[in-house]
Amino acid sequence: MVNLKKPTLYYIKHPLADGELSQQALATFTDEDCSEYRSEYDEYLNTQHQAVKDMSVLCNECITYIKTIFGEGHDGKQIRYFERNIRNGESFTDQHANKYPQPENVDRKVQEARKKYCSFLGQENAPKVGGEDTLQEINNAVSFLLKRGLSLNTDFTVSNSVSMAKTLASQDFDDSVVSCDEGTTLVQHNVMMLDGTAFPSSSFVVTPKGGNKFSLKSVDITKDYEDWSDEIKGMMDVGASYAVSFVERDEPTFKVC
């Protein structure tokens, strides 16, 4: 059996290796991120150069084997087909050479994106990404997921970070609000009314109903039913539902109605 040495490739794991990132996503990267990508790219280049050399040796050996199979001095279609594929960059090392954007192009695109968008970061009128998600909400969602031990571009991407963060936050919420005879409070969560005021979590026990819904019962002995606002009385009558938001911070806010 012929012992052939397969060239070794290096795969960049940094999120800036994704050449399809939108300008909105690029605007969220820092100078440090760009520096980290450049370091990884340099390591990729060193490995890639050696891989190209190893592939050249491998191709020359293959031509020798082809001539051995079809006869010494053979220069027929088999060799011409093989050489044409190599010239056209069909080897996996050649394909890998075009896989990642060059650092200087990444730096330029990040600077252009930040110049265009970063003045909006953290503001209510931040530009929209995916129709609904603001840059600040994406940043907060990514931070939340990273703190949960997930890896960007492995477990989630920039584009689905908000939806994944909301899903995990909803699961945490439902798991913590365990249904029992006495119910449970929401004091461990940041729960807000739609008008931005805090929900009086310590005044109620709740029972989950599934589908981001729960019933609630007042345990505040200082208040009668009529003392509550019409909005809260409506929740007491027919139940409440909640939506998850990462607009304000990198921990979920549960907005109830």
Same domain, 113 and 205: no
pLDDT, tens digit (0-9, with 9 covering 90-100), for 51-60: 888 888 887 8
Rounded to whole angstroms, how far apart are CA atoms 91 and 123?
48
Over 60: is that where the pLDDT of 257 sits? yes
Of 81, 102, 120, the residue at which a domain comes to its end is 120
Same domain, 19 and 109: yes
Q: Select, from the ranges 6-10, 36-40, 182-186, the one with the highest average predicted confidence (pLDDT).
A: 36-40
Q: Is residue 209 part of a domain?
A: yes
Q: Is residue 189 part of a domain?
A: yes
Same domain, 196 and 115: no
CA 18 to chain centre: 12
Mean pLDDT of all residues in 15-31: 78
DSSP H/E element including 243: strand 240-245
Q: Is residue 193 part of a domain?
A: yes
What domain range is 101 assigned to? 15-120
Same domain, 45 and 114: yes
Same domain, 20 and 90: yes
Mean pLDDT of all residues in 104-111: 90
Same domain, 105 and 185: no
Q: Is residue 161 part of a domain?
A: no
Over 70: is that where the pLDDT of 75 sits? no
Share of residues in the chain with pLDDT > 90 (%): 7
Same domain, 193 and 111: no
Over 70: is that where the pLDDT of 183 sits? no
pLDDT, tens digit (0-9, with 9 covering 90-100), for 220-234: 888 888 888 888 888
Q: Is residue 159 part of a domain?
A: no
Over 50: is that where the pLDDT of 124 sits? no
Q: Is residue 99 part of a domain?
A: yes
Nearest to 34 by CA among 139, 110, 137: 110
* Residue 181: pLDDT band with limits 50, 70, 90: very low
Mean pLDDT of all residues in 163-179: 76
Same domain, 188 and 97: no
Tell me what pLDDT residue 38 has: 93
Are residues 59 and 86 in contact, defined by beta-carbon separation less than 8 angstroms?
yes
Over 50: is that where the pLDDT of 1 sits? no
Q: Is residue 144 part of a domain?
A: no
Q: Is residue 246 part of a domain?
A: yes
Domains in the chain, number: 2
CA dihedral for 68, 73, 76, 81, sign (positive or negative): positive
